[in-house]
């Protein structure tokens, strides 16, 4: 049992799986160092309080309708959440201060997500330091604030595949795609509130972000901490919002070493019915076993997605692979049978894959996924890029290249080296280990 240091940290994650996971990891680190933890959360996508009996969970109303809560439009979701949650959050924080006073406990700081734009002025008015946890690669978070300026610049004259100097190693077409999701006014507010914060925490490490840390330190001018891939120290997917299908593991136990391709596109992105069919044919044609997470189809609503796949193909798929609605991903990637990961390159999935030394086939859909996939394939060279081609032949070819050909072996070797480097960052005296120590000193000093 860890001795309490008399300090409480309040966490306020955005209600997205990719944000809740690192936030709970951070809570575990802080709790192991004596901090008491309160997690304020929305009703929508509420974390499972019963999985974390040592933390206090407080729910606030979010005012989202059923349709709003299931949108894939993250910008719209964030706008609505910011509109609806400000006043309930303020009431909740005031109550926490009152009870902390009664119990003679001190609330040391608020740690939330950069996507909340009302929390900085509020915490300032209460004299409460606010730190911002980021679930993006440092270079994405920093450079995406520069995007509105690029709208009118050189992009117009360049070709679709030209690199964009201000945002390496992205291509013009990718920057243009990301720009369609940038809401300039929201982005400006987020930047202003981030610069006014007491510090930034990234779920990354120097080994993955050397390219941009100096620039980020100058740009934000606040202390930056790199907590590293903390799930290595605090395993288990206890922060999963959906119940993982544990039979995935017993199925993997029956497969040969490094033979299985794991397919998952995270918690938000879905594919259309025709894209689903292409992936199904691609997987079926390779003759390799696969574990495929299918949460549904973007254009098949109200009925089981499996109805979209003809019976004959479904039979073939069942012979070779396993399809689940949600997998215990961290355990899956750790399994000896996994040979590759066909992924959307969300930052969590990318880091989890690196930490287990699993090379990737990259199929990014949007936002930071586009940058992560370029780093995986062109900078670290630990994966193959599908270049957005959701076509059976392309998928089959990529799986073969990765699992059966010498090119795959070389990719795997590079991945092993990267895995070692990143893994050592959280070991004693590693870069992330030292950064977490400074973060704890910093928070304790408030
Ligand atoms: N995840 C999981 N089971 C699944 C699919 C995903 O546990 O079947 C977890 C995965 O381990 C990761 C998170 O969900 O921690 C997804 O985060 P990521 O940043 O990769 O993508 P997002 O969902 O934010 O697009």
* Residues 179-199: tens digit of each pLDDT: 999 988 999 999 999 999 999
225 shares a domain with 81: yes
Ramachandran assignment for 378, one of left (phi > 0), alpha (psi -120 to 50 degrees), beta (any other):
alpha
Shared domain for 322 and 435, answered yes or no, is no
Provide the pLDDT for residue 122: 96
Does a structural domain hold residue 171? no
Residue 162 belongs to some domain of the structure: no
The pLDDT tens digits of the residues spanning 243-271 come to 999 999 999 999 999 999 999 999 998 89
Q: What's the average model confidence in pLDDT over 398-420?
A: 97
Residue 302: the pLDDT is 56
| Same domain for 374 and 283 | yes
Q: What is the pLDDT of residue 73?
A: 85
d(CA 292, CA 322): 6
Q: What pLDDT digit, counting tens, does each position of 121-155 carry?
A: 999 999 999 999 999 999 999 999 998 888 776 56
Q: Are residues 224 and 254 in the same domain?
A: no
**Domain match, 205 and 333 both:** no
* Residue 375 pLDDT level (bands cut at 50, 70, 90): very high
Q: Which residue has the tokens 């930056």?
A: 224
Supply the pTM of this predicted model: 0.96
Stretch 300-320: mean pLDDT, rounded? 81
**Token digits for 152?**
């009118």
Atom of ligand 1 nearest to the CA of 326: 8
Question: Residue 318: exposed, middle, or buried by beta-carbon count in 10 A (0-12, 13-18, 19+)?
Answer: exposed
> Which of 380, 375, 372, 376 minimizes the C-alpha distance to 360?
376
Mean pLDDT of 79-87: 96
Question: What's the token pair of residue 333?
Answer: 């990637």
Decide if 24 contacts 238 (C-beta within 8 A): yes
Number of domain units in the chain: 2
CA distance 162 to 388: 16
One domain for residues 248 and 220:
no
For the cut 80, the answer to whether the pLDDT of residue 328 exceeds it is yes
Write down the pLDDT at residue 55.
Answer: 96
374-379 average pLDDT score: 98
Q: Candidates 13, 18, 266, 291: which one to mutate for ligand 1, based on the most atoms within 8 Å of Cβ? A: 266
pLDDT of residue 236: 57
Judge whether 190 lies within some domain: yes
pLDDT in tens, 214-250: 999 999 999 999 999 988 877 655 678 889 999 999 9
Which residue's CA is the closest to the ligand 1 atom numbered 7? 329
24 CA to centre of ligand 1 in angstroms: 14
CA–centroid distance, residue 47 to ligand 1 (Å): 14
pLDDT at 391 over 90: yes
Centre of ligand 1 to C-alpha 348, Å, is: 6
Q: Choose the weakest-confidence range: 18-22, 205-209, 344-348, 413-417.
A: 18-22
What residue owns the CA closest to ligand 1's atom 24?
A: 18
pLDDT of residue 392: 98
Ligand 1 atom, smallest distance to 325 CA: 8
Would 279 be classed as within a structural domain? yes
Tokens of 394: 């392309």
User: Within a domain: residue 139?
Assistant: yes
Mean pLDDT, rounded, for 105-123: 96
Q: How far apart are CA 288 and CA 268, in angstroms?
A: 27
Q: How far is the CA of 262 from the centre of ligand 1 (A)?
A: 13
Pocket of ligand 1, beta carbon within 6 A: 16-18, 21, 237, 240, 244, 264, 266-269, 293, 326-327, 329-330, 346-349, 352
What's the mean pLDDT in 284-290? 95
Task: Specify the ligand 1 atom closest to the Cα of 350.
Answer: 20
Pocket test for ligand 1, best of 267, 294, 356 (most atoms within 8 A of CB): 267
Name the residue range of residue 341's domain: 241-424
> Is position 265 within any domain?
yes
Q: What is the pLDDT of residue 150?
A: 83
pLDDT at 153: 63
pLDDT at res. 235:
65
- Note the pLDDT of residue 303: 58
Pocket test for ligand 1, best of 348, 351, 360, 376 (most atoms within 8 A of CB): 348
| Chain segment 339-373, per-residue pLDDT in tens | 999 999 999 999 999 999 999 999 999 999 999 99
Using an 8 Å Cβ cutoff, are 217 and 296 in contact? no
Q: Are residues 218 and 296 in the same domain?
A: no
Are 293 and 321 contained in the same domain?
yes
Distance 248 CA to ligand 1 centre (A): 16
Q: What is the pLDDT of residue 159?
A: 82
In this structure, the answer to whether residues 277 and 249 fall within a common structural domain is yes
147-156, 219-228, 297-306, 386-395 — which is least confidently predicted?
297-306
Virtual CA dihedral for 209, 210, 212, 215, nearest 10 degrees?
A: 140
The whole-angstrom separation of Cα 133 and Cα 203 is 8
Nearest CA to ligand 1 atom 13: 18
Percent residues over pLDDT 90 in the chain = 81
Q: List the CATH number of the domain containing 14.
A: 3.40.50.2000
Whether residue 263 sits in one domain with residue 122: no
* Ligand 1 center from residue 350 Cα (angstroms): 10
Picking from 365, 426, 402, the residue whose alpha carbon sits closest to that of residue 204 is 426
CA 135 to chain centre: 6
Same domain, 400 and 289: yes
Beta strand pairing status for 7-12 and 36-42?
Answer: parallel
Residue 174 in any domain: the answer is no
Is 170 a member of any domain? no
Residues 101, 135, single domain; the answer is yes
**pLDDT score of 333:** 97
| Alpha carbon of 15 to ligand 1 centroid (Å) | 13
Cα 378 to averaged position of ligand 1 atoms, centre (Å)? 23
Q: Left (φ > 0), alpha (ψ -120 to 50) or beta: where does 221 sit?
A: left
Going by CA atoms, what residue is nearest to atom 17 of ligand 1? Answer: 18
Burial class (CB in 10 A: 0-12, 13-18, 19+), 366: middle
Q: Which atom of ligand 1 is nearest to the CA of 244?
A: 3
The answer to whether the beta carbons of residues 349 and 266 sit under 8 Å apart is yes
């Amino acid at each position: 049992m860890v001795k309490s240091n008399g300090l409480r940290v309040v966490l306020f994650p955005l209600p997205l799986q990719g944000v809740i996971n690192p936030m709970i990891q951070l809570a575990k680190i802080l709790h192991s160092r004596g901090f008491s933890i309160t997690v304020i959360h929305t009703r929508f996508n509420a974390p499972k309080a019963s999985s974390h009996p040592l933390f206090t969970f407080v729910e606030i109303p979010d005012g989202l309708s059923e349709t709003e809560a299931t949108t894939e439009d993250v910008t719209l979701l964030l706008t609505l959440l910011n509109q609806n949650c400000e006043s309930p959050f303020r009431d909740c924080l005031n109550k926490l201060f009152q009870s902390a006073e009664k119990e003679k406990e001190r609330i040391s700081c608020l740690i939330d997500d950069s996507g909340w734009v009302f929390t900085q002025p509020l915490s300032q008015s209460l004299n409460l330091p606010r730190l911002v946890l980021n679930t993006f690669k440092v270079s994405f978070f920093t450079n995406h604030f520069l995007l509105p300026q690029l709208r009118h610049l050189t992009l117009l004259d360049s070709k679709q595949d030209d690199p964009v100097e201000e945002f390496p190693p992205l291509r013009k077409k990718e920057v243009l795609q990301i720009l369609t999701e940038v809401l300039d006014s929201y982005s400006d507010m987020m930047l202003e509130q981030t610069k006014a914060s007491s510090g930034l925490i990234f779920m990354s490490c120097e080994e993955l972000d050397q390219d941009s840390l100096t620039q980020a330190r100058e740009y934000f001018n606040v202390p930056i901490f790199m907590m590293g891939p903390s799930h290595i120290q605090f395993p288990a997917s206890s922060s999963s919002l959906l119940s993982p299908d544990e039979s995935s593991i017993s199925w993997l136990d029956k497969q040969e070493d490094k033979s299985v391709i794991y397919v998952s596109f995270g918690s938000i992105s879905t594919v259309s019915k025709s894209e689903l069919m292409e992936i199904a044919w691609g997987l079926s044609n390779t003759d390799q076993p696969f574990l495929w997470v299918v949460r549904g189809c973007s254009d098949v609503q109200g009925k089981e997605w499996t109805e979209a796949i003809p019976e004959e193909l479904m039979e073939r798929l069942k012979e070779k692979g396993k399809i689940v609605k949600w997998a215990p991903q961290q355990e899956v990637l750790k399994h000896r049978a996994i040979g590759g990961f066909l992924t959307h390159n969300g930052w969590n999935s990318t880091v989890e894959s690196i930490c287990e030394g699993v090379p990737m086939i990259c199929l990014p859909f949007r936002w930071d996924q586009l940058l992560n996939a370029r780093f995986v394939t062109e900078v670290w060279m630990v994966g193959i890029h599908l270049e957005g081609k959701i076509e059976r032949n392309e998928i089959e070819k990529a799986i073969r290249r990765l699992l059966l050909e010498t090119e795959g072996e070389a990719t795997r070797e590079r991945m092993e080296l990267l895995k070692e480097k990143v893994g050592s960052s959280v070991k004693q005296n590693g870069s992330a280990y030292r950064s977490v120590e400074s973060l704890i000193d910093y928070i304790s000093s408030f």
